[in-house]
Amino acid sequence: MLNSIAILGRPNVGKSSLFNRLTKTRNAIVSDFSGLTKDRNFGYLSIKNHRFLIIDTGGIGSEITEFSDAITQQAIFAAADSNLILLVIDSSEELTHDDINLLEVIRKMNKKFFVVLNKIDIKKQSSTKDDLMQKGVRYLIEISAEHSKGIKDLQIQITNQFDPLVEDDDEIQGTKIAVIGRPNAGKSTFINQFTKQNRLIVSNIPGTTIDSIHVPFSFNEKDYVFIDTAGIRKKYKQSHPVEYFSYVRAMHSVDESDIVLMLIDATNGVVDQDLRILNLVRGYGKPVIVALNKIDELSRKNILQLMETKKFQNSALNNLHVIKISALHKHGFKKLFNTILRVNRLAKTNFSTGRLNKLLKKFMSSINPPSVSGRQVKMRYVHFGGIHPTKLIIHSNVSSKIPSNFKQYLINSFRDELNLKSIELKINFKKGENPYDGKKNKLTSRQIKKKKRLIKYTKKSK
């Protein structure tokens, strides 16, 4: 069984910095602004042949915010489920009432824990270490997460807490599904319902989710990972730097995913920002499925009106599966997930050369091929070129200046025949190489003598 380690502490004591340092990733946003981490975030710590699950949590403190109760609940859940707790305390500040309260809460859990004094690189002196020792803290490690000081000692202490014979090779694997959309489209609500637990904080306030949160779950004896991303606003580039970094993290999540699920708030209809996000995502070549959320709040007449709007008919939504769901009432989940499974399987299919060439021959026989610079385009053969996006390479007598409408004809034809709805398809044309290009026949000595006689005869005749 994989041993889990929860990182707890007040806001802005360096929990996310420590999480990134232990997991050797940048999966947690790090900033001077407190309260950025709200939900639990998962990562993995590898030490020699051991692997541990690291859980980053939101800051627990007395400061009352819109999310303070939910953040505390998420952190306590993480601590209760873990095998070891790291209580992070800022060594550059005096011990606070919140630190003491959190220490007492952890002690009552009867779990293995030790205190991590962070920010020892800051010259400001405090009596935090002495105060903790007076309160009976036995396991205390001093580190600087930002400058990697004391991290090796911390890793040694972690491995000492567990049986060295335990095999920690069961890292959670599965199909990665990036859930994206505008703020408040219902992404976190959807994931909570599907995983059957209040894994993510849900609020009517846009921007509740800032980081990209990985949520593993199982369905029909198969493993999957939902990636809940921050809502992408219209002017993310001009907005707060944290918000722009959230956008970057969302795009990174799309890049590392196997399939993308785009949630659209049906009550607001399809807006320009939805189309912008779709165009951004489709550029990564991953299969995309659109889910119209909050459909329970619309009448049948309103749904039909929505589907007849110009923005719904936009080219960005062309050839995409659009599934109507209600995350709040779990409506449409079965159909949505069956579509995800089917599309993901097709997106990873390696189509045979024989099948592709039969289809190419069929398509070419149905039209008159165009001409490029006076030469009629001739298709020699086609073969499979890769996935994400699905790529087909056509060898022809022309590789450039091929009319875009002819390219689109082939893309649409292959997509229909191969059932590639919601899957990005790209066709590259490659000009056949001349096997004699750059090669010269070597003349024999007899041919050379004959060539000289002919040249001499030609000069005399002139």
* Chain segment 272-312, per-residue pLDDT in tens: 888 888 888 888 899 999 999 999 998 989 999 988 888 88
DSSP 96: P
Instruction: State which amino acid sits at residue 1.
Output: M
Asked if domains 175-347 and 353-431 share a fold, the reply is: no
Instruction: State which amino acid sits at residue 332.
Output: G
Instruction: Point out the least confidently predicted range of 196-210, 239-253, 425-439.
Output: 196-210
**Superfamily name with CATH number, domain 175-347:** P-loop containing nucleotide triphosphate hydrolases (3.40.50.300)
**Vertex 405: Cα angle to 401 and 407 (nearest 5):** 65
What is the per-residue pLDDT for 163?
Answer: 65
Strand, coil or helix: 346: helix
Nearest to 390 by CA among 359, 367, 356, 357: 356
Percent of the chain with pLDDT over 90: 21
Tokens of 266: 């049906």
CA distance 237 to 275: 17
Beta bridge partners of 167: none
CA distance 98 to 107: 14
Q: Which fold has domain 353-431?
A: GMP Synthetase; Chain A, domain 3 (3.30.300)
Tokens of 93: 């500040």
Distance (Å) of CA 125 to CA 94, 95, 121, 151: 9, 12, 10, 21
Q: For residue 271, which phi and psi values (nearest 5 degrees)?
A: -110, 170
End-to-end C-alpha distance for the chain, whole angstroms: 95
Q: Is the peptide bond before 435 cis (omega within 30 degrees of 0)?
A: no
- Whether 93 contacts 57, CB under 8 Å: no
Strand, coil or helix: 391: strand
Number of H helices, E strands in the chain: 13, 17
Q: Where are the domains of the chain?
A: 3-160, 175-347, 353-431
Q: For residue 106, which phi and psi values (nearest 5 degrees)?
A: -65, -40
- Tell me the CATH architecture of domain 3-160: 3-Layer(aba) Sandwich (3.40)
CA distance 452 to 458: 10
What is the per-residue pLDDT for 395?
Answer: 92
Q: How confident is the model at residue 66 (pLDDT cuts 50, 70, 90)?
A: very low
Nearest to 29 by CA among 201, 211, 206, 255: 211
* Mean pLDDT, rounded, for 375-393: 91
pLDDT at 230 over 80: no
Beta bridge partners of 142: 117
What is the per-residue pLDDT for 63?
Answer: 55
Q: How confident is the model at residue 438 (pLDDT cuts 50, 70, 90)?
A: low
Alpha helices in 34-186 (DSSP H): 68-81, 97-108, 128-134, 151-160
Nearest to 86 by CA among 14, 3, 7: 7
- Whether 41 contacts 252, CB under 8 Å: no
pLDDT at 33 over 70: no
Instruction: State which amino acid sits at residue 377.
Output: V
* Chain segment 109-159, per-residue pLDDT in tens: 888 888 999 888 887 767 888 888 888 887 788 999 888 899 999 888 888
pLDDT at 31 over 50: no
Q: Mean pLDDT, the chain, as a whole number?
A: 80
* Mean pLDDT, rounded, for 396-414: 90
* Chain segment 177-221, per-residue pLDDT in tens: 988 888 878 887 888 776 655 444 344 434 444 445 677 777 677
